Amino acid sequence: MSKTTTDSSELATPPVPPSTPSLAARVHLGQSWRTAGILIPFLILFAVLSISSSAFLHTTNLINILDQQASTLCIAGAGTLVLVAGGIDLSVGSTYAFAGVTAGMVGQHHSLVLAIGAALAVGLVVGLANGVIVSVFKISPLITTLAMSYVIQGIALKVSSGNLILTGTIPGFTTFATAQFLAVPSAVWITAVFVVILALLLSRTNFGRYVVAAGGNAEAARLAGVRVGGIKITTFVLSGLAAALGGVIDASRLGSVIASSGGAALSFTVLAGIVVGGTSIAGGEGSGWRTAIGVLFIALIGNGFDLLGVDPNWQQIVLGLILLVAVGLDMWTRRVRR
Amino acid sequence: MPGEHSTGSTPRGATTPGDDLVVTGVSKRFGGVPALSDVSVTIRAGTIHALIGENGAGKSTLAKIIAGVIGPDEGTITLGGRALHMRSPREALAHGIVTIAQELAIVPSLTVAENVYLGAEASAGGFVRRRESRRRFRELVERVGFDLRPDAVARTLSTADQQKVEILRALSRNASFVVMDEPSAALSSHETDALHEIIRSLARAGTAVVLISHFLSEVLALADTITTLRDGRLVRTIAATGATEESLIEGMLGRSLSTAFPTKHPCATDAPVVLEVSHLRAPRVDDCSFVLRRGEILGIAGLVGAGRSELARAIIRDTRPSSGTVRLNGEELTGRGPRAAIRRGLVLIPESRKDLGLLMGRSVRENVSLSRLDLVSRFGWVSRARERRLVTQFMDATTVKAASMALPATMLSGGNQQKLLFARTLMCAPSVLIADEPTRGVDIGSKRAIYDLLTTMADEGLGVIVISSELEEVLGLAHRVLVMRHGRITAELSGANVREDAVLAAAFADSGVS
């Protein structure tokens, strides 16, 4: 016994103790701060709702929430990459609507595959346009995507004449998002796969590292050999594609689509979800799965208020305050770190 | 001369001409690094007093202390025998001390008169009394003899006229001490002449002018008294009569090279050329040509703003050269941006690690592997184990000390941060390294470690370019030295010619301020 002890103590020559252990500890705490910052409130809210509302903790209700949030989750997943790369995309709401309308109109005469393909092509083109304008022409992403959102919404209204397009009557169209697998609709499965891919893309790949570098310090990233422009364009393309995917999911899920859906309201909801999830609006920091928690946190508030019969106007007020707290925490941790 | 100085309509009465400003035993440290040690100077009213020295000699620090921008750690400043405790430029102003900094502080959209009285407008009940302002302005301009229209918008003025606006502002506040930091740096020779006349007239009117200038001819032409600083210490204060450029340069160096440098291994003069720059032109780079050989350390010296960093950025194609070529191992370097250069084995360690080098909030690991993630990934997927192994290897090679490679770069000391950039560079396996100010803001111990790294890299066959404002560093490391001035390479020194006086003479050479 005593022999082993001496052996192991000899073997494990203690590494040179870090000169500043308290600093190191503080940093690790700082990193997990962001995670805890969203996870703990989410779990508390979940527990409170489970206790206070008998209807909340039912599979149907929970799956319903996920189903309703599918499009928002997809868009926010890609939006996280845009924000981390130092951009912002306010055109997603309009792209969502335009892609949905495109899918509905193409779907009425052609196959489902062609309809989805056309919608995704719309998202790709919009994303590419945003990315090129921001990266090549150096126009602020806020203004670029705001302007683009008007253009896209206008085009969507023009091509559809502002009419409601019924997609529920197209054979097979609704199955894309509503087919059940293991009692869960396909919209939720598609979203889960898409969001996991985006989250891994950000956290585990070269591309993700470049996204973080481009948003954290674009000058340094460029001098280190990162194609900052190309990286930013790619994040906008992914955001456009995600918005189109969200549009198709909802066009299929809801049985109808109209050009005035989505819009600024959706863009802001997406942004709120990302920021509440602890992704920094200043870029260079963020995570896909925290965004998912952020989006669901906001959804839980809405769901809880509905179930508890609280005046829906309170939702807006509470959401606004939460947003301020989230951004405030981000600023504070940045200052502490400096 | 006394008595003529009361200006404006509201005498503040803080000083009367004839009072001398006496600096006694002033010391100042920045983050433990001494910038000024025990400096004493007396600035007499109505004289032009020049402060000269190399980059980093402490002249700007001394000027800032006199102007109240920063406070001294030790020592006192007295004015007419009374001790001053200034905590801000505003308090200095109350004592009649005004700074005209290198960067002009003018609101471009306001008129000349509005700029002059900015913050001290003649007002009644919150409204600006324009007629009163104009009357005061006319008086002021007549007294100084400037030809400036009060209604001209500042944006439309030449730099010299904008400087006049600043000078008028200083005078309108009853300044008896004017501190000018490199006032002619941005001026044409014609404008410089005008400025010199203004400075002389200020002195004639009883104002003391503290002049910081890199241009020794300007100093000799203007100054009554010249104070030379070196390494934060006072060398001497002398009357300008009898001083020559040679004697001033000698005063600015006057020390032997310290032995804090690794031994230089001679580099073969017939070693293959790894980098050949010919007739390169880019923003602030004017027709630069030179070669760099395998195993050679080439120093680039010059004053701040001489175009050294711009040359480096043009070589790695960070800025588009307008003409000229860069050949790396005989092949012309093309393509856009630093990425192309890095892939071909030409790497820059940029001048400011915080702004241009590191992702301060990200981990040590991510910072080191950023340029060569392809080495630690497969199909774009980062292998963390492989990354940790390689990063450890390069951190060891560059002696980075970090408690953990998960720590953000901001938690490391300046020296270790700089070594992170060397680790990243080594990972790129370059054939040419350009290190821009590699030891800025680094402690003495790490400095030596970085010198060793640079020397080792050259010994291993890299071509190394060291850009530094510390002359000692360039001389201690380099086999050959290029001196830059106004974007041009003005001298190439090698062998026994690599001496401080030769470098300084080339760096300060007045080929006409154009």
Q: Where in chain B is the domain with CATH 3.40.50.300?
A: 23-96+176-252, 273-345+431-504
Name which residue leads in pLDDT, B376 or B252: B376
List pLDDT tens digits, range A166-195. Answer: 888 888 888 888 888 898 999 999 999 999
pLDDT surpasses 50 at B241: yes
> CA separation (Å) from A40 to A46, A65, A286?
10, 20, 17
> Which chain B residue has the Cα nearest residue A27?
B407
- The CATH code for residues A38-337 is 1.10.3470
**Contact B124/A at CB under 8 A:** no
The band of B111, judged by pLDDT with boundaries at 50, 70 and 90, is: confident
What is the pLDDT, as a whole number, of residue A8? 37
Question: Options 3.10.330.20, 1.20.58.1290, 3.40.50.300, 3.40.50.720; which CATH number does B23-96+176-252 get?
Answer: 3.40.50.300
The Cα B133–Cα B135 span in angstroms is: 5
Mean pLDDT across B4-32: 61
Which of B315, B359, B392 is most worth mutating to test chain A (most A CB atoms within 10 A of its CB)?
B359
What is the pLDDT, as a whole number, of residue B106? 79
What is the pLDDT, as a whole number, of residue B172? 81
State which residues of chain A have pLDDT below 70.
Answer: 1-33, 334-338
Q: pTM for the whole thing?
A: 0.74
**Contact A33/B at CB under 8 A:** no
> Which chain A residue has the Cα nearest residue B313?
A223
Tell me which chain B residues have a C-beta less than 8 angstroms from the C-beta of A225. 338-339, 342-343, 370-371, 428
Q: Which contacts of B341-345 are long-range, i.e. CB under 8 A and separated by 24 or more positions?
A: B341/B315, B341/B316, B341/B317, B342/A224, B342/A225, B342/B316, B342/B371, B342/B428, B342/B430, B343/A225, B345/B428, B345/B429, B345/B430, B345/B431, B345/B432
B232 CB burial (10 A radius; 0-12, 13-18, 19+): buried
Tell me which chain B residues have a C-beta less than 8 angstroms from the C-beta of A224. 338, 342, 370-371, 424
Choose among B370, B380, B407: nearest Cβ to A226: B370
**Contact A209/B at CB under 8 A:** yes
Nearest CA-CA distance, residue A2 and chain B, Å: 31
**Contact B342/A at CB under 8 A:** yes
The band of B17, judged by pLDDT with boundaries at 50, 70 and 90, is: very low
**Contact A29/B at CB under 8 A:** no
- The CATH code for residues B273-345+431-504 is 3.40.50.300
Domain-by-domain residue ranges, chain A?
Answer: 38-337
List pLDDT tens digits, range B26-45. Answer: 998 876 667 888 999 999 98
Q: What's chain B's average pLDDT?
A: 83
Element holding A326 (H helix, E strand) = helix A312-337
Nearest CA-CA distance, residue A334 and chain B, Å: 9
The band of B13, judged by pLDDT with boundaries at 50, 70 and 90, is: very low
What is the pLDDT, as a whole number, of residue B433? 96
> Which chain B residue has the Cα nearest residue A200?
B381
**Contact A211/B at CB under 8 A:** no
List pLDDT tens digits, range B291-336. Answer: 999 999 999 998 877 889 999 999 999 988 899 999 999 999 988 8
pLDDT surpasses 70 at B126: no
CB–CB contacts below 8 A, A to B: 97
Contact indicator for B485, B509 with CB cutoff of 8 Å? yes
Give the CA count within 13 Å in the CB-facing half-sphere of B173: 26
